[in-house]
């Protein structure tokens, strides 16, 4: 499915303004992983719950992302909700041109070969249910088929104003 009601460039907000507006929105940080040879993974702040009945979640991925071909080919992905102590994991999976899984090191294969990262607050294994092309991204819709709380009572990692933060509003270095 393709979104056709997107405004043309004549009516769209300028990219710099759009980016500065979105910096006011705080978002949780996840890493999405997909099986493959090699496996793929990327950091996302676009993860959201879509529906409770049936259960559906979504995330966006750029068509230029190195993980996009693996995600597009995958039937199963895993979403890892990161905790406040996992800024290094978020940065690793947001870095281009490296073997992210070797750099992270702590993971094992899960259902359908999807990589499962250790140490996340929660892991949600999902079957891809569909996708929507939206500009330079694809919004992936997925059905959770397995979930587990992995971390303890830790707070989630957030992204706000171009920086990582936690619920106590402690900001970290700029990215």
pTM for this entry: 0.87
Q: For Cα atoms 44, 88, 158, give the angle at the middle one, nearest 5 degrees.
A: 45
Q: Does domain 27-162 have CATH number 1.25.40.10?
A: no
- What is the band of 21 on the pLDDT scale with cuts at 50, 70, 90? confident
* Segment holding 132, helix H or strand E: strand 122-134
| 105 three-state secondary structure | coil
Residue 174 has a pLDDT of 55
| Domain regions of the chain by residue span | 27-162
Percent of the chain with pLDDT over 90: 69
Question: Is the CB of residue 40 less than 8 Å from the CB of residue 46?
Answer: no
Residue 8 has a pLDDT of 56
Mean pLDDT calculated for residue range 148-153 = 78
User: In angstroms, rounded to a whole number, what is the distance separating the alpha carbons of residues 33 and 140?
Assistant: 13
77-97 pLDDT per residue, tens: 999 999 999 999 999 999 999
């Amino acid at each position: 499915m393709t979104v056709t009601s997107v405004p043309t460039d004549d009516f769209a907000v300028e990219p710099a303004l759009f980016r500065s507006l979105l910096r006011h929105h705080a978002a949780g940080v996840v890493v999405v992983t997909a099986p493959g040879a090699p496996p793929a993974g990327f950091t996302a702040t676009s993860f959201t719950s879509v529906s409770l009945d049936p259960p559906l979640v979504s995330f966006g991925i750029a068509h230029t992302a190195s993980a996009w071909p693996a995600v597009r080919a995958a039937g199963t992905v895993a979403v890892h909700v990161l905790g406040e102590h996992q800024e290094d994991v978020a940065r690793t999976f947001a870095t281009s041109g490296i073997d992210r899984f070797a750099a992270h090191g702590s993971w094992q294969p899960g259902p359908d070969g999807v990589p499962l990262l250790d140490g996340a607050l929660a892991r949600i294994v999902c079957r891809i249910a569909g996708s929507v092309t939206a500009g330079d991204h694809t919004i992936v819709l997925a059905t959770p088929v397995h979930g587990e709380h992995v971390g303890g009572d830790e707070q989630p990692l957030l992204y706000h104003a171009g920086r990582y933060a936690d619920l106590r509003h402690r900001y970290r270095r700029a990215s």
